[in-house]
Amino acid sequence: MKPIAIFRHAATEGPGFFADFLNARNIPWQLIRIDEGDTLPQSAESYGGLVFMGGPMSVNDDLPWIPQVLALIREAMSKEIPVLGHCLGGQLMAKAMGGTVSRNPVKEIGWGELTVGRNDEARHWFGPLERFMGFHWHGETFSIPDGAAAILSSSYCDNQAFTVGKHLAFQCHIEMTADMVNIWCDVGADEVAASASSPGVQPVSEITDKLDTRIPALNQMASSVYEVWLRGVAA
């Protein structure tokens, strides 16, 4: 089996639970650390799938690696190599497909309920699940590209996920571990404090509360979604 390529854009925003998911199934994967200047692959063909993690930058920033990543996403999608995006990763997918990324009406940081869409595409990824508590840390959002289906929403962000064929893009974070939540809250404490007026932002004490139940529930949901995505890798 070809390895899964995981693209990291910030040291604190690694693959998290997704790496645990792959390791438990003996699925090979390679971490490409864009934040440390790793060379980007020239082609997607060496990989069974491409996975893009989050990051504090915007896809609209003038960064030298963004055009290369967009080209890789387009190549992978054209060759039916499954692509999966988390937050910034989902925004990169949207932009690669001709969508736009712009400021969300409010910043979202912390735990929030996500509603699964009432369409066949949503049922394919989430089965009978109607809603779940997801993790959020974003100030921008993507439009739904032409040919894609919206499958997830929240009270503060209409477009939380979209899909087209084997490919899946999230605005929210389903890859979280307890360590990641704690680290993000430590590193991002000033951002949380500065954004306290947003109705979509929770205080750090609330974000880090009940992780012993919130994280296992999120991991269980993520595992079922990742299983569906992995079937596309093997197909």
- Residue 233: partners with Cβ closer than 8 Å, 6 or more residues away: 1, 4, 48, 49, 82
Which pLDDT score is estimated for 1?
A: 86
Distances (CA, A) of 161 to 12, 125, 203: 22, 11, 25
Which pLDDT score is estimated for 235?
A: 60
Closest CA to 168 of 120, 77, 229, 100: 229
CB 107 within 8 A of CB 154: no
Averaged in consecutive runs of 10 residues, what is the pLDDT profile of the chain (235 residues)? 96 98 97 97 97 97 97 98 98 98 96 97 97 97 98 97 98 98 97 94 97 98 98 82
Which pLDDT score is estimated for 207?
A: 98
CATH superfamily for 4-234 is: Class I glutamine amidotransferase (GATase) domain (3.40.50.880)
Which pLDDT score is estimated for 125?
A: 98
- Residue 88: partners with Cβ closer than 8 Å, 6 or more residues away: 9, 13, 52, 53, 54, 55, 57, 59
pTM of the model: 0.97
User: What is the C-alpha separation between 201 and 222, in angstroms, rounded?
Assistant: 23
